[in-house]
Structure 1
Amino acid sequence: MTAGYRKAAPVRPVPLGVRIFPFLSWIKTVNRGTLKADLLAGLTGAFIVLPQGVSFAMIAGLPAEYGLYAAIVPPVIAALFGSSMYLVSGPTTAISIIVFSTLSPLADPGSADYVRLALTLTFMAGLFQLAFGLARLGTLINFVSHSVIVGFTAGAAFLIATSQLKHALGIPIPGGASFLTSWAFIIKSAGQTNGYELVVALATLVCAVIFKILRPRWPGLLIALAAGSLLNLAMDGAAHGVRLLGELPGHLPPLSSPDFTLDTLRMMGPGALAVAFLGLIEALSIARSITVQSNQHINGNQEFIGQGLSNIVGSFFSSYASSGSFTRSGVNFDAGARTPLASIFSALFLAVIVVLIAPLTAWLPLPAMGGVIFFVAFKLIDFPHIKEILRSSRSETLVLLATFFGTLFFEIEFAIYSGVLLSMAIYLTRTSHPHVDAMVPGPGDPDRQLTEISQTELVECPQLRILRISGSLFFGAANHVSEILEESDDSDPRHLLIIGYGINFIDVSGSLVLEQEAHRRLKLGKNLFLCRLNRDVIRFLAHGGFLKQIGENRLFATESQAISRIFNILDKSICSTCTARIFEECQSVPGPGQALGKSRNNGRGR
C-alpha cells in the first residue's frame, strides 16, 4: 500500500433498534458518575424553568400552569427521541408569541376555547415536524437565513414587552390588540397607571438585571420574583390594586385532547406550520451551537422526529407547543450534564416542585411577572448580530428589517414566511448571476498565469477572447450567461474560449446555452472553445449529447493547450499589425518593424 495512505474503515450501518429508539445509543454510557452529574444539572434546570414556564405561558395567553406542564412532558420525549445529548426542550418565548398571535384573534386568551385551540395547534405542529423528519428534510433548515431569526426575535421582543405593559402599568389593554393599537391605548390611558404595580415591576426588573450581571449562575429570575413578591407584601400592594397571579393547581399535567374537527384543523394549519418551522429552526440551531463546545454530532432528521413526537405527545398532556430552549440548554451544558437524562431529571424535579410549592404562587404579583418578562424580552434582541448585519450586507439588512417590521405590524407567520421567501429570493438571485470575467495573462506573474483583465492594464487579444465562468450554470443562470456571451461579440472577437473550472454544476438549460452559443458563433464564422471543465460537467455534456454538438475537438484540458491550438487558426495578418501581443505565441509572428522569428521575451501566455 502506498505510504501515507490508510484504508478507510468501513461505515457500519446504524442498527434498526437504535434508529427507532435513539436513546439505546447513549443509555449504555450511563454510570454512577454520569448519573450524579445529570442529577445536579437537572435540579439546576428545574429551578430555572419554574419562573420561565409561568412567564412563557402568560406570553402565550394561557393559564400559568400550562407553561409548567409544557416543561414536564415534552422535554422527556425530546430527550429520548432526539439526537442531542444536551438540548433541553420546553416552552420558549418565540413559540409562545406565535401561539398568542395565532390564537388571540380566534378566542379570548386563557379561556377554555383558547386552551383547546392551543392543544390542537401543538398537535398539528408536531405532525408537521414528525413528517419533516421522516421525509429527511433536516437539511432544509440550512437554507433559512440567520437574519430571519435575528429579525423575528427582535420583533418578538417588542411584542412581548408591549403585551406585558398592562401588568406593569395596571392598564387594561384589550386582549388580541395589535402592536399599534396596544400602544395607542397605552398612550391614551397613561393617566390610569397604577404606581404600585409600576414600582413592583421595576424593582423586579432591576433585581433580575443585577443578578444577571453579578451572579449569572444563580437562579436570578426566581430570586427577582421572590423580591418582587416581598416588596408587594411590604407595601400592602393588594390593598392598592396590585393584582396577584393566584394559586396554581398543585397536580401533574392532566390528560387532554386536541380538537380534531375538520374546521378547527383547517383553521390551525397555517399557524401550526409556522410553529413547526420556527420550532425546528430554534431547536436545531441551539443543538448545533452546543456542538461547538461538546464536539457531538447532531442528526438533523432525528432532531425533527424528537421535536415532533414531543409536541404530539405533549398535546395529550395539557402541554402547548415546545422547542429547544437557549437558556436552559446552555445552563444544562454548563452545569455538567453528561447525557439526555439531565433533561429528564429536570422534568421530574419540576413535577415534584409543582406539587409542593403550587400554593405559594397565590402571593406572586402579576407586575413582578411582567418585570421578569421584560428582562426575558430584552435578552431576545441580539444587538451584536444586528450590528454586524447592518454593517456587512444590504441584502441581509433588507431581510432583517422585513422580518422585524413584519413581526410588529402583520401576522407573525406572515413575517416568518416573508423573511424566509425573501432570503431564498436573494439566494436564488445570487446563484442565477454567476461571475463572468474576461481574462488575460498576468504581467506580474513570471509564468504569465491568466488573471482578470480588470486587475491589469493590458488589453485583450483582438481575435481571441477568454472568459471565466464562476458559478452554477443551471436554468436560473442560463439567460444571464447567454446575454453575456452574446455581448462578448461587441469587440468582434473571432474566437471565444470559456474557462470552466468554476462551473460546479450544470443542467440541461446550461448545456443548451453552450450548445446554442457554439452554433450561433459557427453561423457567424466564429468559434467557441471550452477548457478546464470539471469531470462531472464533462460527463453531463457527453451523456446528453451536448459535447458532440459543441465539438469534442473544441474541448481542452488546460489553458496552455487551448491557446496553443487556437493560435494556429488565428488570422496572422491581424497578428502582424497587433500591438497587444499578450501570448507567448504572438512573438513568433513579426510585428511592425520586426523580422520573422525575432521575439521579445515577454514570458508565456499560458
Structure 2
Amino acid sequence: MSLHKIFPFLRWLPLTKKTWKDDLIAGVTGTIIVIPQAVAFAMIAGLPPIYGFYTAMITPVIAALFGSSYHLISGPTTTGSIVVFAIISKFVTPDSDLEAFVSLTILLSFMAGVIKLVMGLAKMGKLVNFVSYTVVIGFSAGAGILIAFKQLKHVFGINVPQGSSFYEIIAYIISHIKETNLYVLGVAIGTLLIALLIKKVRYISRLNMLFAMILGSVLAVVLGGNLHSIETIGDVPSNLPPFKIPDFNFEDMRMLTSGAITLALIGLVEAVSISRVISLSSHQKLNNNQEFVSQGLTNIISSFFSSYVSSGSFSRSGVNYQAGAKTPLAAIVSAIGLLLVVLFFATYASYLAKPAMGGIILLVGYNLIDFKRIKQIVKSSKREFIVLSVTLLGTLFLELETALFLGILISLFFYLEKTSKPNIAIVGKNQDNKFFNIIRDATTKECPQLKMIRIDGSIYFGAVDGISKYFTDLYEKNDQKYLLILANGINFIDIAGAEWLSQEVLKWRNRGGGIYFVGLKLISQDVLQKGGFAKIIKEENFFKDKNTAIATIFKHLDKQVCSECKVKIYDECS
C-alpha cells in the first residue's frame, strides 16, 4: 500500500507552494464565517457555545489531512446538531443534567465515527454512487434556498423562533414584516452589495466575502450598532479544547447504538453529497471510501478533545470554494485562524455583525443553486425533473436526510423501471445484404424459419417478467421454430434470468427448434456457467459471430420449406 493512500495529504501538500496565497485568503474568510455558526450550532445541539468552537477547531484539520475533497470543510452542522439533540434528549436534557448530556454527546460522536470508519475500510463508499447527479443538484439547490432563508431573521432583524422550518420562516416574516429593523436590513443589503461590487474588482475579487464581512460590520457601527438593535455575535470564549477520554460506559453505548448508526449514515451522505456538489464545478475526482475513512477518523479523534459530531458543512464549504481555495490547506488555515481568534482576538471578533454575516450567507446560498444544470435537467428528461423537484422540495419541507433518501429512492425506482424493459429489436437482412432492424429499413426481410432478435439490456430479476412476455408472444404468434439472439448488448444475467432463460430454451427445443446465442459476453455467461445453466442450453449453442451461427442453424432447418422459400436472405439459402 502506498503512503499516499495512508496519508492522502501527501498528494496535495506539494501544490501549496503555488496555492498558499489563495488558500490563506479562503481560510481567513472561513474563520470569520465559522465564528457565529459555531455558537449557533452548539446551541441547537443543546450544548454550551464553547463546544461549537472546540468542534470547529479540531475537525477541519483532521478531515483536511485524511479526506479526498480539496474543498470540503468539516465541522458542526445544522443537521448534525439537530439530530444530536433529538437522540440525546430522549435520555437526558441539558436543563436536567448538562454534564451527563455533554458526556453522552461526545460518546455518541465517537460511536458515529467508528461506524463511519468501518464503512470506509469496508469500501462501502460505492453506496454513494446511488446518489444520482440529479439528486445532488436538487439537494444543493434546496440547501442553498434553505441556508438563505434561515438567514432572513438576521437580514430583516425579525426575531424568528429558533428551529423554525422553511415555511414557518416565510409565514412568520410575512406576518411580522412591519417589525423589520431598517438599520439591520441596511447592514445586510449593504454587505451583500459590497460583496458583489468587490467581486468585479479584478485584483481583489477573491477577497470579496472577507472585505464585505469586515466593511459590513463597520457599517453596523457607523449606523449606531446596539442603539438600533444591530446584533453582533457577542462574547467569544477564549478556551482551547482540552484532552479528555470519552466515558465508555457499556450501557450508554448500547443505548446510543441505533442513534449512532443514524447519525453516521446522515453525516456520510451529507459530507459526500456536498463534496460531489462542489466537484461538479471544481472537476476534482473524489474517493468516496477515503471520505468515509476521513469522516470516521475526524469524529473519533475529535471526541477526545471535547468535540461533538461533525460532518461536511454546506455553507462553509461553499464559502471556501467561492473564496478561491485550491487545497485542504484552506481548511487548516480556517481552524488555526479560529484558534488564534479565540486566544488573542476574542474581543474584536465579538463585534462582527450578524446582519453582515446574513448578507454573506445569502450570497453563498444563491451560488449553491446551479441554474444552468437545472435548466438542462428540465429540458432533457421528465423523470429527472421529477427527481430534481422531489429532492429540492423535500430539502425545503422535510428533514434533510429524508429529502436525500427520498430523492435516491425515486431515482433508483426510475432506473429499475427503465432497466426492467430492455430494448428488443427484430433483425433481418436488407437489400445491401446487411443485418438491420426491420423497423429501420423497409427492405429488410426475415427468414421464415429463423427468428433473429437483438437484446440491449440486462436479463435480471427486474427484467424477467417483461422479457418473458415478449418471448411468449414470439413463441405463440410466429411460425419460426428457431431463435437466434444477438447478445452483444446483454450486460449481465443474474440467477433469476438464467433460470428463466434455460426454461425458455427447453420450451423452444420441445417444439422441435431451439434458441442460440451470438456474442454473449464472458461476464454475462458467468452465472450460466457456474450455475450449470450452460449445460441445459448446451455449449454448442453459443457462437462468436452471426455467420457461423446461421450456418450451423441452417443445417437444422426444414429443407422442404427452404426449397419453396422466396426470401433466401442468407448465403446458405442459395
- Cα pair 1:130 1:308 within 8 Å, conserved: yes
- Cα pair 2:154 2:355 within 8 Å, conserved: yes
Aligned partner of 1:54 in structure 2 is 35
Aligned partner of 1:455 in structure 2 is 440
SS of aligned partner of 2:238: coil
Aligned partner of 1:318 in structure 2 is 307
How much has 1:465 moved relative to structure 2?
A: 1.0
Is 1:282 matched with 2:274? yes
SS of aligned partner of 1:384: helix
- Cα pair 1:51 1:221 within 8 Å, conserved: no
Aligned pair in 2 of structure 1 residues 361, 116: CA closer, same or farther (>3 Å)? farther
CA RMSD of aligned residues (A): 3.5
How much has 1:529 moved relative to structure 2?
A: 1.8
Aligned partner of 2:461 in structure 1 is 475
- Cα pair 2:209 2:323 within 8 Å, conserved: no
C-alpha separation between the residues in 1 aligned to 2:72 and 2:543?
56
Query: What amino acid maps onto 1:531 in structure 2?
Result: V
C-alpha separation between the residues in 1 aligned to 2:6 and 2:487?
45
Q: Quick one: percent identity of the two aligned structures?
A: 37
SS of aligned partner of 2:123: coil
C-alpha separation between the residues in 2 aligned to 1:161 and 1:21?
36
Residue among 491, 497, 510 paired with 2:478: 491
SS of aligned partner of 2:164: coil
- Cα pair 2:429 2:445 within 8 Å, conserved: no
Query: Counterparts of 1:180-199 in structure 2 under 5 Å?
Result: 180-199=167-186
Residue among 54, 65, 75 paired with 2:60: 75
Aligned pair in 2 of structure 1 residues 330, 54: CA closer, same or farther (>3 Å)? same
Q: Please, which runs of 5 or more residues in structure 1 have no aligned partner?
A: 1-13, 589-606
Aligned pair in 2 of structure 1 residues 569, 191: CA closer, same or farther (>3 Å)? same
Q: Please list the CA deviations of residues 265-324 of structure 1 after superposition, one character each: whole Å capped at 9, or x if unmatched.
A: 5446434421222213334665797575xxxx7654233212221122234343651337
Aligned partner of 1:544 in structure 2 is 531
SS of aligned partner of 1:72: helix
Aligned pair in 2 of structure 1 residues 78, 359: CA closer, same or farther (>3 Å)? same
Residue among 430, 444, 450 paired with 1:464: 450
Aligned partner of 1:396 in structure 2 is 384
C-alpha separation between the residues in 2 aligned to 1:345 and 1:195?
36
Residue among 87, 94, 102 paired with 2:83: 102
Residue among 232, 243, 250 paired with 2:231: 243
Query: What amino acid maps onto 1:396 in structure 2?
Result: E
Q: Please, which runs of 5 or more residues in structure 2 have no aligned partner?
A: none
How much has 1:147 moved relative to structure 2?
A: 1.3
C-alpha separation between the residues in 2 aligned to 1:400 and 1:409?
14
C-alpha separation between the residues in 2 aligned to 1:409 and 1:376?
20
Is 1:522 matched with 2:503? no
Query: Counterparts of 1:322-401 in structure 2 under 5 Å?
Result: 322-323=311-312, 325-328=317-320, 334=326, 343-401=331-389
How much has 1:368 moved relative to structure 2?
A: 1.7
State how many pairs are aligned. Answer: 553
C-alpha separation between the residues in 1 aligned to 2:384 and 2:563?
52
How much has 1:396 moved relative to structure 2?
A: 1.8
C-alpha separation between the residues in 2 aligned to 1:553 and 1:406?
54
Q: Please list the CA deviations of residues 432-458 of structure 1 after superposition, one character each: whole Å capped at 9, or x if unmatched.
A: 332222111243xx5x33222221113
C-alpha separation between the residues in 2 aligned to 1:196 and 1:342?
34
Query: Counterparts of 1:112-127 in structure 2 under 5 Å?
Result: 122-127=109-114
Aligned partner of 1:305 in structure 2 is 293
Q: Which protein has the larger Cα radius of gyration, Structure 1 or Structure 2?
A: 1
C-alpha separation between the residues in 1 aligned to 2:428 and 2:521?
21
C-alpha separation between the residues in 1 aligned to 2:139 and 2:247?
29
How much has 1:70 moved relative to structure 2?
A: 4.0
C-alpha separation between the residues in 2 aligned to 1:558 and 1:247?
78
Query: What amino acid maps onto 2:345 in structure 1?
Result: I
Query: What amino acid maps onto 2:469 in structure 1?
Result: E
Aligned pair in 2 of structure 1 residues 171, 222: CA closer, same or farther (>3 Å)? same
Aligned pair in 2 of structure 1 residues 145, 276: CA closer, same or farther (>3 Å)? same
How much has 1:530 moved relative to structure 2?
A: 1.8
TM-score (norm 2): 0.85
- Cα pair 1:125 1:321 within 8 Å, conserved: no
SS of aligned partner of 2:154: helix
